[in-house]
Structure 1
Amino acid sequence: MMDTPLSGPIALPPRYYGSIAYYSVVAAAPQSRMDFSILYDKRMKEAHRCEIADKEGRTRLTASIGKPHGIQRATWSDVPLSPHNRWWHTHRVTLESAYGRTPFFEFYIDRFLPFLTDGVTERYPTLHALDEAIDTEIRRILLLPAASENSEISENSENSENSENSENSEPCGHLVTDPEEVAAAFGHLPYWQVRADRLGFIGGLSVLDLIFNLGPEAALHIRRR
């Protein structure tokens, strides 16, 4: 384990069905939350895109978003969801095709249906609302602490070593700008995948891949170092 900001509370960039590496960082920190006060940058695709493995290999799922209009220095909290092309229907069908034969798909898919069925853009009108709700459900499945409530963060990156668990440090600690890079220090342990015999092991996927393939053991896997 590293003696870095992960020993205290952290704030993380928003993710849509975040990667296994992302939730390994969440598991390593005592407190964490997504920080939607980060300035909107259309190049940060991970906020509304994830990668899974289907019958042919790696594939992407992208939630449609609108542009924040009339707001100077818009943040990710200002980004609306778009109903364009009923993207949630495509995501549900793709997940069923990709993971329908995995051991635990039928046990967990119902927990994600509020994000994959008609009305999702009314239930969650902003990307903030959607990503936060998905994160809450994933944390429950992986037996992780609920996201911390305080949104204050320090401007130190994951490489800063200025705060050392002082009693006066901010409730949400350091902003970890690249959690996947931080998680690389843990090493990436392979796990059982339903098509590994044909496709080989595919790493760097959404935590959904871990949940549907391993079920309850996923909570143990993200804590392994």
Structure 2
Amino acid sequence: MIENGAVLPMCYLPPVEYFVELNKHKPNIMIEREEHFPKQTYRNRTNIYSPDGVLVLTVPVAKGSRNHTVIKDVKISYDFKWQRLHWMGLQACYRRSAYFEFYEDAFAPFYESKETFLFDYNEQFLQLLLKLLKIKTDITYTETYEAAYPTLADLRDVISPKKEPVFAQKPYFQVFEENHGFIKNLSIVDLLFNQGPQAMNYL
């Protein structure tokens, strides 16, 4: 049994808080893959900074992938062109940022390939983000669903769009901050595209 680490959910372009916690609890990181898919969470949505404020990007899931489906079995729906929408949204929101072009080629393939399962899609994205942030850690995956982990920081329900992040976040430059000020705990891509290689120091 892993000790002194953390159990985290698998999220789509997770918020800054996710990587703060992951960095704090590494190298012992366990990711939940046996939970039932919870709606309205970062499992399939992310928040970015648009000219109008927070823009929510949601990965649609196939019908039947509801509350009683195990997260690793949830399928992505391609009934409409959400990938094009997300990629256009990222380009529109971050084209003016200092480092968007620096990372663009690494992100583009995720909006062209059609991965079947949400978990696999998010996992590949997570591996890319860890590489870009230069975070080295051992990731293991849950084999069964456990209601509690006495020896781990259980962050499965802590990192949630419905909850205020508990960490004190220092402001960094954001493209549209003159419109709406600094917005806390957006997707890690907001930090990456604005801060580039300095993102790791920030975390």
TM-score (norm 2): 0.86
Among candidates 148, 157, 164, match of residue 156 of structure 1: 148
- Separation in 1, partners of 2:197, 2:97: 13
Q: Is the 8 A contact 2:29 2:140 kept in 1?
A: no
Determine whether 1:93 maps to 2:83: no
* Offset from partner CA, 1:115-138 (integer Å, 9 cap, x none): 112xx22xx210011010111111
In structure 2, the residue matched to 1:129 is: 120
In structure 1, the residue matched to 2:195 is: 214
Tell me the secondary structure at the aligned position of residue 7 of structure 2. Answer: strand
- Separation in 2, partners of 1:50, 1:105: 17
* Offset from partner CA, 1:26-60 (integer Å, 9 cap, x none): 1111221431211123x243211101001221111
In structure 2, the residue matched to 1:111 is: 106
Q: For residue 17 of structure 1, report the CA deviation from its aligned partner.
A: 0.4
Tell me the secondary structure at the aligned position of residue 47 of structure 2. Answer: strand
Where structure 1 has 5 or more consecutive residues not aligned to the other structure, the ranges are 1-6, 164-172
Q: 1:1-40 alignment to 2 at 5 Å?
A: 8-30=4-26, 31-40=28-37
Where structure 2 has 5 or more consecutive residues not aligned to the other structure, the ranges are none
Among candidates 197, 211, 221, match of residue 178 of structure 2: 197
* Offset from partner CA, 1:157-212 (integer Å, 9 cap, x none): 6xxxx43xxxxxxxxx4532234379944312211112212321111211110000
Higher strand share: 2
- Separation in 1, partners of 2:98, 2:120: 30
CA-based RMSD: 2.6
Count of residues in correspondence between the two structures:
198
150 and 81 in structure 1: CA distance in 2 versus 1, 3 angstrom threshold: closer
Amino acid at match of 1:210: L
Higher helix share: 1
Between stretches 196-205 and 148-157, larger displacement belongs to 148-157
Tell me the secondary structure at the aligned position of residue 81 of structure 2. Answer: helix
Tell me the secondary structure at the aligned position of residue 139 of structure 2. Answer: coil
In structure 1, the residue matched to 2:159 is: 180
Amino acid at match of 1:55: P
